[in-house]
Amino acid sequence: FIPYCSSDVWSGASSKSEKNEYAFMGALIIQEVIKELVGKGLSTAKVLLLAGSSAGGTGVLLNVDRVAEQLEEMGYQGIQVRGLADSGWFLDNKQYRRTDCIDTITCAPTEAIRRGIRYWNGIVPERCKLQFKEGEEWNCFFGYKIYPTLRCKCRRRHIKWVPSVSSANLEQSLFQTFCLLGPVFVVQWLFDEAQLTVDNVHLTGQPVQEGQWLYIQNLGRELRSTLKDVTASFAPACLSHEIITRNHWTDIQVKGTSLPRALHCWDRSLHESNKNGKAPLKGCPIHLIDSCPWPHCNPSCPTIRDQFTGQEMNVIQFLMHMGFDVQKMAQQQGLEPGKLLGMLSSGN
């Protein structure tokens, strides 16, 4: 466990000086920890899993390739480096209500990173950096932009000759099959509270306005869209922030599969594909994204509590609190209001 003392999304390489009052050295801290761990047993490991939540989740995306390259340079090519990014897959979307960038809460995500990267002397992976113009490196802090640039440590074993296909094409197709599994597992609430906060949607004691409600629903759709090509993902339709640090992390399910089960399947899939060149295992899903459209439409979501009274709310009470119009929504869905309420209660 590496405490988050650098406040730079694990990207900084700026030491304290006469000019800089603060040090931001998150990227260098990770490198030093890896060096230290090599002498404590990491040198004999088969797999190194970097895991992080929130800023730590974004930090995983920024550092997973750099750590792999560091270990290779140190002579440990046999260690597979993987990442588990929890609640760090932020969107650089348009805020619900634009505000001046006074502090980290009012600042739009893109502007916060633009400013931060200068303070921190932030390092981003070279492969991602090359995708953007000079000065646009901030793009690499957003999961859907950096993920396609992450490299995979692929194996080319067990390539069989098929007479009807040229050997070059066959090798390429199998090589891609191995790589499709990807080095990072993304865990992300579809309605992330931290995302809503930076987008200026504040769920206080008052019911949300219709515009906010539509914005929240659209956020879920946008997030779902950015995850469609992420091979290993777990995205419940809940309003929350961070999963793996919470004591209920084993209880949440997407399409009947828990996160521990999905992580187990991902581990098996990577192991099997590296060993035999097989595609992901049948009956062991690793791409799990809720399709229902509202916060907490998944019945396994964490318990909701009223922010003022602390009392628990069921899904219907929560949606009403959010300004959900049962009559109007039922009409849009072509359902009787009672039937819609029944479906919400059962999580359908």
> What pLDDT is recorded for position 347?
52
State the average pLDDT for the chain: 85
Task: Dump the DSSP string for 87-125.
Answer: S-----PPPSS----SSTTTS-HHHHHHHHHHHHT----
Each domain of the chain, given as residue ranges in start order, spans: 26-154+179-301, 314-347
pLDDT tier at 275 (50, 70, 90 boundaries)? low
Residue type, 6: S
Q: Are 292 and 306 in contact (CB under 8 A)?
A: no
Tens digits of per-residue pLDDT, 31-41? 999 999 999 99
Tens digits of per-residue pLDDT, 191-221? 999 999 889 887 766 677 888 888 999 999 9
Which of the residues are catalytic? 54, 192, 241
Range from 132-136, 212-216, 343-347 that averages highest in pLDDT: 132-136
pLDDT at 169 over 60: no
The reported pTM is 0.85
What mean pLDDT comes out for the span 1-23? Answer: 91
Q: Alpha-carbon distance 115 to 101, whole Å?
A: 10
Q: 276: part of which helix (H) or strand (E)?
A: helix 259-276
What mean pLDDT comes out for the span 172-195? Answer: 74
Q: Alpha-carbon distance 195 to 180, whole Å?
A: 28
Task: Dump the DSSP string for 13-28.
Answer: -B---SS-SS-B-HHH
Tens digits of per-residue pLDDT, 240-270? 999 999 999 999 999 999 999 999 999 998 8
Q: Alpha-carbon distance 215 to 347, whole Å?
A: 22
Residue 133 is classified by DSSP as -
Q: Alpha-carbon distance 234 to 143, whole Å?
A: 14
